[in-house]
Amino acid sequence: MRIVEARVIVTCPGRNFVTLKIVTDEGVTGVGDATLNGRELAVASYLEDHVVPALIGRDPSRIEDTWQFLYKGAYWRRGPVTMTAIAAVDTALWDIKGKAAGLPVYQLLGGRSREGVTVYGHANADDVESVLSEISSYVALGYRAVRVQTGIPGLESTYGVGGDKMFYEPADAALPTENIWSTAHYLDHVPKVFAEVRAEFGPTLKLLHDVHHRLTPIEAARLGKSLEPYALTWIEDPVPAELQEGFRLIRQHTTTPIAVGEVFNSIWDCQELITSQLIDYIRTTVVHAGGITHLRRIFDFAALYHVRSGSHGATDLSPVCMAAALHVDVAIPNFGLQEYMRHTPETDEVFPHGYHFADGYLHPSEEPGLGVDINEELAARYPYRPASLPINRLEDGTMHSW
């Protein structure tokens, strides 16, 4: 079997997605997600100009060799664009291998380690009363874990809080929207939110909160300490992760678990955090961390240090990525949680898939391969639309982390 064609498909059924479809001489095809939120066309160009020509004639069964070829052969290694492009190829090759073997991909990864994948939804609202109602809605749907975000009193808008509660999309304009941020208002408000949430829902519902990289290490330590009475499953991205030593300071002051890694692209980005046990959950994803091959390598490494998976799963990850993630999630021994933001009906039509939600769990498809595809005719009806993530400034106008 040889690769004879590879197509890069850009579509926008409500938000932008980039998909790679690989075709073999035996008619077996595979798909991989190549979406990099706000920088989609950079990856599309990387694939079309540099990767696709190198794939033609290759043996699709040589997944590891192809991964090493694309990673080591580029010279300019790592980075979000390169690793997202490699991920698309890798994911598509696993899809082909599963179809050729007549097995769902998780069977090729060692089979099931659990019956279902525990997912968490996003409850967000402008105020505490409204967010309690949103949490109730998720609990009624069967969710066992919920991320909680609210507006901050005194601030006009807050990243992570949107108008459409089920299909929230933060990339809202061609050029970045600028919001105003106040750490003082935030640190005062968030503990009050979780006090009310715990009082309403009791001790068993898993609660999570995303800080979105906005604090310094000592500020994050204060937040974690103030949230300890409410037993969160994790606080996510408490500080920008470039200074990994900062996590040591957080660790010294709080026992609130920490999750980080959705913006990481390789095992090297999280090596120190894992080996020093400075985090509890690693949130790397199939699409941004080099595909199934490299993500499995990260999770296996993390397992040695009692770090569990908690993969990113926002709407900018297409159903192709979600399908691939579930095959990994159901197979690895150190699974923690999987983020699950539902896609719009338009997106689900463009990407027909076999995974499904029931009782708080997502279940991977039992079809050979990943169990997902792209309807190229339908995708062509939704042209690319520029969209950027918002940014934050402090009240005095200083640029801040988003």
pLDDT band (50, 70, 90) for residue 30:
very high
pLDDT at 243 over 70: yes
Supply the pLDDT for residue 402.
59
CA angle 362, 211, 180 (to 5 degrees): 125
Sorted by sequence, the CB contacts under 8 Å of residue 115 that are 6+ apart come out as 361
In whole angstroms, what is the distance from residue 260 CA to residue 258 CA?
A: 7
3-class DSSP assignment, residue 132: helix
Distance separating alpha carbons of residues 383 and 317, to the nearest angstrom: 18
Architecture of the domain spanning 3-107: 2-Layer Sandwich (3.30)
Active site residues: 159, 212
Q: What is the mean pLDDT of residues 211-224?
A: 97
What is the token pair recorded at 259? 């999750």
- Structure confidence at residue 171 (pLDDT): 78
Beta bridge mates, 258: 235
Rounded CA-CA distance 122/227 in Å is: 19
Q: Where are the domains of the chain?
A: 3-107, 110-366
CB 335 within 8 A of CB 360: no
Please tell me the distance from the alpha carbon of residue 30 to that of residue 94, in angstroms, as a whole number: 8
Where residue 167 falls among pLDDT bands split at 50, 70, 90? low
Specify the pairing of strand 29-33 against strand 117-125: unpaired
CB 310 within 8 A of CB 325: no
What's the confidence (pLDDT) of residue 33?
98
Is the Cα torsion angle 378, 381, 383, 388 positive or negative in sign? negative
DSSP 254-283: --S-EEE-TT--SHHHHHHHHHTT--SEE-
What is the distance of C-alpha 28 from the center of its chain?
28
pTM listed for this prediction? 0.96
pLDDT in tens, 51-83: 999 999 999 999 999 999 999 998 889 999 999
Cβ–Cβ < 8 Å for 347, 297: no
The CATH code for residues 110-366 is: 3.20.20.120
- The answer to whether 132 touches 202, Cβ cutoff 8 Å, is no
Domains 3-107 and 110-366 share a fold: no
Q: Which two tokens stand for residue 65?
A: 């060799």
The first and second tokens of residue 43, run together, are 């990856």
